[in-house]
Each structure stands twice: as C-alpha cells, then as structure tokens.
Amino acid sequence: MIRTRIAVLGLLLAASPAAALNLITGGPGTSGADFLTVGVGARALAMGGAFSAVDTGADANAVNWNPGALGFVEKPNATASYNSLFKDENQGYLGYAAPAGKSGGVWAGGLNYLTVSKIERRASDTEDPDGTFGHQNYAASLSYAKALGDGLALGGTLKYVRVALDTLKENAMAMDAGLLARTPVSDLTVGAAMRNLGTNIGPDSMPLTFKGGAAYKMFTRKLVLGSDIDWLMTERRAYWSLGAEFWVSPNLAVRAGYQFGHGSDQLKSKLVGLGAGLGLKFERLTMDYAFMPYGDLGNTHRMTVGVRF
C-alpha cells in the first residue's frame, strides 16, 4: 500500500508539468470579462489554485473552481470573499449553497464582482485629468450539482455577466460544467471543469478555460496535495499549479502553492504565482487568508469568511 501511494503521488506531481508543456500552443490572445479568471476563495488561492479535485470541506466557493465539487456539500452555508488587489481595484464574492432536500442535489447562488474606481479621463494630452470614471464587472450565477453515489458528483453553473466601462455597457451569458470523482485508489480524487463557455461580450469572446487535476490526502487526511492544469483557450495560455494544505490542529491549517507559467506575463518577479495562507475552522465559522505577490504591481491579500448553518 505504501508503494502504491508513493507511485500515485509521483505520477500526480510529474504528470502535470508534462501535460502543461504539451498544451502550450501560442502566445496570449484577447478575451472579454477577464475578471472571471481572477480566483475567488482564499483557501484555494493560498494553494496556488490547485483546487479542482479537492473534495474536503466543500462549500459555496466550489462553484468558482469546479461546480462538480458542489455535489458533496452536506449543509447549508454562506461565504463572503474580499480581495484587496491593486490601486483602486477591488474584487469580492458572495455565495450561498444548500442541499435541495428529498429531491437530492445541491443548489447555489452567487455574485462575483470586480470594480475599478478613479480612472482618469483626458480629452487631450494634459497633465491634469478632465475627470474620473469607473469600471464595474459583475457576474450573477445559479448552480446545481448532484452526487451520484459516494464517488462521483456532476455540476453546472449558469452566469449572467455585465461589464460597464464609463458609458459603455455590455452583457453576456455563460455556463460552467464540472465533475469530481473519488477514485478506487484510497484518498485520491480527480476533477475537471469547463468554465465561461458563452456568448461574446461586446466584440470579445468570453475567457473560456478548461481546468483539471488531482488531489491526494495523506497522514489521516491532515495533509492535502493538489495539482492542476489550467488551459485558457481564448488567451492560448497554460498554467500548472501545485499546492498543499496541512491541518496543524483541527482548527488551524497552513497552506502554500505555486502556479507555474507566469514567465511570459512580464511582471519581473519569480514570486508571481506564489500563494500562501492560513485557515481557521470552528464549529460553524471558517476564516481563510491568502497572500499573493504580483511583482511590480504589488502584493495582494485575499480574505474569505464562511458560515455553516
């Protein structure tokens, strides 16, 4: 059994970068509503985004990574995230998930937003701006997932997306779909998701993304290791994520991760892609924090609070 687990772990860590290299086919393209690619949920972000196959502690944040994981939610819960990004740029998420009762399955609703304020407006080449305007991005979502027995869960999300830049306003519809499976290998799970398949938003296509990976639990599930590949089809980019979560005690977790593939982002720092953070868990309340540096753009801090009912 020990040899089997070591072999599985080795494949988990070795297969992802090889697959990511095979997926990279070109440089970046263009897409609209790029705020949908900004990660939500401090727990997953602290693990470098290697979260598509994590089945422990599933909550309303699951819809932002793999809607299939929503099928393993056992109790009603609410979540709120706030991301302090760059100057005058803020992002957040409000979500609620609850089992559907006798009919089975889990329903969830959420609102993802990113706003930028105080953008300077100039009609000519002047030192002082003529005024300021804002950039608002919103995505309202409705999700449903269902566990098919104890080993497989399927889920989907329908999203209404609205982007407003000064007087320009655009709307779009998009959908996500995903699955999460508990494999015959004890404590090994795999997941896959398709995100942001939808109509154009203005002249631009949605940031269609395919995500897949595996997670493995060790030491009586105190340690969770995850490995994911993200293929941004519209942008023609691939990222490989590797992350870990260790529960020091039943109430305290430490997390770290790294997302490889940011070398072409021109942010002039090898720390770009790093995630680190802490998690606190009480009877009904969870609190998570993630720190993520972005080179010349500065450091970002992500916070998530969750309540179980």
Query: Using CA atoms, how far apart are residues 195 and 203, in angstroms rounded to an integer?
Result: 19
pLDDT in tens, 154-192: 999 999 999 998 888 999 999 999 999 999 999 999 999
Q: What DSSP string describes 125-194?
A: S-SS-SEEEEEEEEEEEEEEEEEETTTEEEEEEEEEEEEEETTEEEEEEEEEEEEEEE-SSTTEEEEEEE
Secondary structure class of 265 (helix, strand, coil): helix
The answer to whether 294 touches 282, Cβ cutoff 8 Å, is: no
The stretch 50-75 carries a mean pLDDT of 93
Per cent of the chain over pLDDT 70 is: 88
Strands 152-165 and 168-182: antiparallel
CATH of the domain at 42: 2.40.160.60
The number of distinct structural domains making up the chain is 1
Sign (positive or negative) of CA dihedral 177, 182, 184, 187: positive
pLDDT in tens, 269-288: 678 889 999 999 998 999 99
Whether the per-residue pLDDT at 264 is higher than 70: the answer is no
Q: Which residue's structure tokens are 């699955």? A: 179
Q: In which domain, by residue range, is 85 found?
A: 2-308
φ/ψ of 265, rounded to 5, equals -85, -10
Residue 112: pLDDT band with limits 50, 70, 90: very high
At 40-55, the pLDDT tens digits run: 999 999 999 999 999 9
Say which residues have a Cβ less than 8 Å from residue 148's Cβ, sequence separation at least 6.
154
Backbone angles phi, psi at 128, to 5 degrees: -95, 135
Q: Mean pLDDT lowest for which of 15-29, 178-192, 241-255?
A: 15-29
pLDDT band at 31, cuts 50/70/90? confident
Task: Check the CA dihedral 111-144-232-50 and report its sign.
Answer: positive
